[in-house]
Chains A and B, each alone.
Chain A
């Protein structure tokens, strides 16, 4: 069997593991083989499978961007057996990486437009490379509005980057939690309520939403009420996956597969889906 085996992962080493939020860790992976490291190019929106050898692998959105270096970053929420096994790993441990898979955000088409990003919980992870790309090429994009949400303050991710985001030119960050705690002084409420409050204008704008399915559905409804057309509403979906290459049959929404036709879809495309995600 040739190395042309799409099920064979690259080997990588964890060079950084840090807490992002309660139950969420950030993993930085350096692929071991220099050729594989150099060849692993990807766009914001794509995902990769990370293996915790001995348990299995699961798909994670790439939370890094090639613009900022060769390390692959994944935000991993501990919810199941694979993520639990990953959380028990530390710096120096070996993981497997398969990818990159899926389609990506059409950032080129967003140049010159106002970009509104809505991230709920761990859903913020795939939006991070978008933020980084825009900040690194600031003049190419219009106003950047980031709406960030989580159920609790302790579940907000990338809080250490908030100041940097706010400090960027023509960039606004709005944060909300479903439920506050004693220390919390910010917004309390759903992201849809925050969205109504911020009320970004739909003219020359594009939105990207990522989060739990119910959050995506409600956010799209609110965006529609604010005047955004289906083509202006981009989402990235997740699904249970086993292969990432459209073979295992699992992640289909009608005749579309989240792994190969997605995970990035426009609201117009989702409207054509027979099934609900």
Chain B
């Protein structure tokens, strides 16, 4: 992808420059993990920029970590400014968070990188196969070569779901959620899930119970899908994080497709367009 080690050097140099110049207090990127995996990296010291890598193993959506940098690192200080490496899909999450005023644009230095797709354990991810956006949508600087591959999203997976009868769909999702363990990895990996107190854990009112049983699990996933309506960037971090291999992005894509059909809106394309479910237009009045 890109220019290989030359690109990695450019990323490292940029991170080093940002940290040395005090433009950012922390640079979030990827580093070599254990057992041949890549993992999120948090660089605070310019000389640690050497740890940064960039290759097809860098699948995580790092935007979710911006939420933990909203408070000062030390008492009495300003919240830290952060540099972040984003792929095109991650950049959509950024736009959503900028639009929702969760992250201040000026506090983030965005290093965008073009992407030919990522892999999990050597296997290309499904979302990359159908990805048509190979250049980040928002950045302060973009790196990487012209992307080689351009995918196309035919929503075949969603169509297959829609061809099932309601009964078949219920049976399908019941079978999938049966092995959910309510570990919340999906929620925690998601950049758009940032509520201080999630509906799933609220005690007063107790929207759902603590039980790890099918009714609560169905409620949680349906609720989360609705809360993401018009807000999901399609990054699949949820599905990648799930230990039980539940096709969560299918559910979110179904909802996203509904939103697109109803409002002509796709989340994350920019940070200006008002999201449909947070906007009321007079002409949307229901007939009396």
A84 to B203, CA, bound (A): 12
Chain B residues closer than 8 Å to A80, beta-carbon distance: 203-204
B196-231 CB mask vs A (1 if < 8 Å, else 0) is 000000011010000000000000000000000000
Chain A residues with CB under 8 A of B204: 80-81, 84
Instruction: Report chain A residues within 8 Å CB of B203.
Output: 80-81
> CA separation between A72 and B206, bound complex, in Å?
30
Which chain B residue lies CB-closest to A56?
B203
Cα-based distance from A81 to B204 in the complex (angstroms): 7
Q: Name the interface residues of A53-95: CB closer than 8 Å to any CB of B.
A: 80-81, 84
B contact residues, range: under 10
Assembly CA distance A80 to B202 (angstroms): 11
Q: How far is the CA of A81 from the CA of B206 in the complex (A)?
A: 10
Q: Give complex CA distance A84, B204 in Å.
A: 10
Task: State in angstroms the CA–CA spacing of A182 and B65 once bound together.
Answer: 49
A80 to B204, CA, bound (A): 8
Specify the chain A residue showing the minimal Cβ separation from B210. Answer: A56
- Is the contact region of chain B dominated by helix, strand, or loop, or is it mixed? loop
- Nearest to B205 among chain A residues (CB) is A81
Q: Inside 8 A of A81's CB, which chain B residues have their CB? A: 203-204, 206
Could you give, for residues 79-119 of chain A, a 1 whenever the CB lies within 8 Å of some chain B CB and a 0 otherwise? 01100100000000000000000000000000000000000
CA of A81 to CA of B205, assembled, Å: 9
Question: Which chain B residues lie closer than 8 Å to A84 at the CB level?
Answer: 204
* Min distance, Cβ A165 to any Cβ of chain B, angstroms: 37
A81 and B203 CA atoms in complex are apart in Å by: 7
Chain A residue contacts of B206, Cβ below 8 A: 81
Q: Which residue of A lies closest to B206 (CB)?
A: A81
Q: Which residue of A lies closest to B203 (CB)?
A: A81
Q: From residue B197, how far is it (CB to closest CB) to chain A in Å? A: 13
Closest B residue to A82 by beta carbon equals: B203
Smallest CB separation, B74 vs chain A (Å): 17
Instruction: Return B269 CB to nearest CB of chain A, in Å.
Output: 42
Q: How far is the CB of B199 from chain A (nearest CB, A)?
A: 15
User: How far apart sit A80 and B203, CA to CA, in the bound complex (Å)?
Assistant: 9
In whole Å, how far is B131's beta carbon from the nearest beta carbon of chain A?
43
Q: Could you tell me the distance in whole angstroms from the C-beta of B207 to the nearest C-beta in chain A?
A: 13
B204 to chain A minimum Cβ distance, whole angstroms, is 5
| In the bound complex, CA of A80 to CA of B206 (Å) | 12
> Across the two chains, which residue of chain A brings its CB closest to B204?
A81
Whole-angstrom distance from the CB of B202 to the nearest CB of chain A? 10
A71 to B53, CA, bound (A): 67
B17–chain A nearest beta-carbon distance, Å = 39
C-alpha spacing A80/B197, complex, angstroms = 15
Q: Report how far A81 CA is from B209 CA in the complex, Å.
A: 13
Least CB separation from A84: chain B residue: B204
Task: Tell me, in angstroms, the Cα distance from A103 to B203 when the chains sit together.
Answer: 30
A36 to B52, CA, bound (A): 65
Interchain nearest-CB distance for A276 vs B (Å): 15
The residue on A at minimum CB distance from B202 is: A81
Q: How far is the CB of B82 from chain A (nearest CB, A)?
A: 28
Per-residue contact bits, chain A 231-268, to B (CB 8 Å; 1 contact, 0 not) = 00000000000000000000000000000000000000
Min CB gap A89→B, angstroms: 17
Q: How far is the CB of B65 from chain A (nearest CB, A)?
A: 25
Bound-complex Cα distance A223 to B204 (A): 40
Distance to closest chain A CB from B208 (angstroms) = 14
CA distance A104 to B204 in the complex (A): 33
A85 (CB) vs chain B CBs: closest residue? B204
Shortest Cβ distance from residue A107 to the other chain B in the assembled complex, whole angstroms? 37
Binding site for A on B (CB under 8 A): 203-204, 206
A-B contact pairs, 6 of them (CB 8 A): A80-B203, A80-B204, A81-B203, A81-B204, A81-B206, A84-B204
What 4 A-B pairs are tightest by C-beta distance, nearest first?
A81-B203, A81-B204, A80-B203, A84-B204
